[in-house]
C-alpha cells in the first residue's frame, strides 16, 4: 500500500506531498496522521528551514473523504488531542502551499493554514461546507475572510462556487499563479530564499506579522518597538 503522505528533504527544504491521487487526496485518518507526523518532523529537524505542501496527481486536496467521516477519527487522528490547526501552528518554520489543482473545503482550509500560497494555472478553490452539510473546523470561517475580505468570503462560502487561480490572485488569496510545470520549481525557489536567511530573525519577523492577529495596530506597533529596543540594547552590550 502506498504511503498517503510523502516527504522529501533537500537543501534545507522539505517537500510534503499528499499522496492519494485516486481519491483526489481526500483526507482520511491515515493521511492526516502521516501529514501531522511530517509537519512535526519538519518542526524538529534543525536542517530544515522551510516546507512546501502540495498534492499528487491533478488535485491539491478535495477535503474530507466522505467515506471516512463515519469511521475515522478526523479531528484527533493520532489520539494526542492535536488537530490540523494545532500541528501547523506548532511548526515555527514557514510553510508554502503549492496548490496544483482543486483545493476544496477541508483541503482549502489546509491551504489557508499555510503561510502563503503559490498556485498553478490549473488550481481552483471552493468552500463547499454548506453544500455538503459539513461544519468547518480548521479555520475556514475566519482565515478566508482574513485573506480575501468579508464580502468575498461570504460570496465563496455561501454560494459554494469555485474560483479559478486567476480569480484567487485578484482576490488576494494566492501570491502568484504560474504554469503547472513551473509550480514546484517556483515554490522551491521561494523556499530556497527563506532557507538562506538568518533563522532567528526569520522567526521573529514571522511572529511579528502574526502578532497582529491578536492585537490592535497600536499594540502591534508597540510590540515591534519594544523588540527593536531590546535588539539595540543587546547590540550596545557587544
Pairing label, strands 124-126, 95-99: unpaired
pLDDT in tens, 10-45: 999 999 999 999 999 999 999 999 999 999 999 999
Which cell is 204 given?
521573529
User: What DSSP state is assigned to residue 180?
Assistant: G
Phi/psi for 76 (5° steps) reads -140, 65
Q: How far apart are CA 123 and CA 79, in angstroms?
A: 33
pLDDT in tens, 85-113: 999 999 999 999 999 999 999 999 999 99
189 membership: H or E segment, kind and range: helix 183-195
The single residue listed with the C-alpha cell 488537530 is: 83
Task: Specify the CATH architecture of the domain 5-195.
Answer: Alpha-Beta Complex (3.90)
User: What DSSP state is assigned to residue 234?
Assistant: H
Q: Is the pLDDT of residue 238 over 80?
A: no
Task: List the chain domain ranges.
Answer: 5-195, 199-237
- 237: number of Cβ within 10 Å: 6
pLDDT in tens, 163-220: 999 999 999 999 999 999 999 999 999 999 999 999 999 999 999 999 999 999 999 9
For the entire predicted model, the pTM comes to 0.95
Q: Is the pLDDT of residue 128 over 90?
A: yes
3-state secondary structure 80-136: CCCCHHHHHHHCCCCEEEEECCEEECHHHHHHHCCCEEEEECCCEEECCHHHHCCCC
Region of 45 please: left (phi>0), alpha (psi -120 to 50) or beta. Answer: beta
Average pLDDT for 149-171: 98
Q: Which residues pair with 117 in a beta bridge?
A: 97
pLDDT band at 235 (very low <50, low <70, confident <90, very high): confident
Amino acid at each position: 500500500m502506498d504511503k498517503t503522505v510523502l516527504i522529501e528533504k533537500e537543501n534545507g527544504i522539505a517537500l510534503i506531498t499528499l499522496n492519494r491521487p485516486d481519491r483526489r487526496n481526500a483526507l482520511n485518518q491515515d493521511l492526516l496522521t502521516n501529514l501531522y507526523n511530517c509537519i512535526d518532523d519538519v518542526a524538529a529537524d534543525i536542517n530544515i528551514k522551510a516546507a512546501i505542501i502540495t498534492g499528487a496527481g491533478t488535485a491539491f486536496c478535495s477535503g474530507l473523504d466522505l467515506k471516512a467521516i463515519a469511521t475515522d477519527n478526523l479531528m484527533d487522528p493520532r489520539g494526542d488531542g492535536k488537530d490540523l490547526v494545532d500541528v501547523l501552528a506548532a511548526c515555527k518554520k514557514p510553510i508554502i502551499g503549492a496548490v496544483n489543482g482543486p483545493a476544496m473545503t477541508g483541503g482549502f482550509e489546509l491551504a489557508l493554514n499555510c503561510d502563503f500560497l503559490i498556485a498553478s494555472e490549473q488550481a481552483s478553490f471552493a468552500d463547499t461546507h454548506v453544500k455538503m452539510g459539513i461544519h468547518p473546523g480548521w479555520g475556514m470561517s475566519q482565515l478566508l475572510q482574513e485573506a480575501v475580505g468579508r464580502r468575498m468570503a461570504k460570496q465563496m462560502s455561501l454560494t459554494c462556487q469555485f474560483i479559478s487561480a486567476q480569480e484567487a490572485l485578484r482576490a488576494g488569496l494566492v501570491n502568484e499563479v504560474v504554469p503547472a510545470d513551473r509550480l514546484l520549481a517556483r515554490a522551491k525557489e521561494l523556499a530556497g530564499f527563506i532557507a538562506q536567511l538568518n533563522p532567528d530573525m526569520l522567526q521573529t519577523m514571522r511572529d511579528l506579522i502574526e502578532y497582529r492577529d491578536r492585537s490592535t495596530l497600536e499594540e502591534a506597533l508597540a510590540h515591534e518597538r519594544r523588540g527593536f529596543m531590546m535588539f539595540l540594547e543587546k547590540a550596545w552590550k557587544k
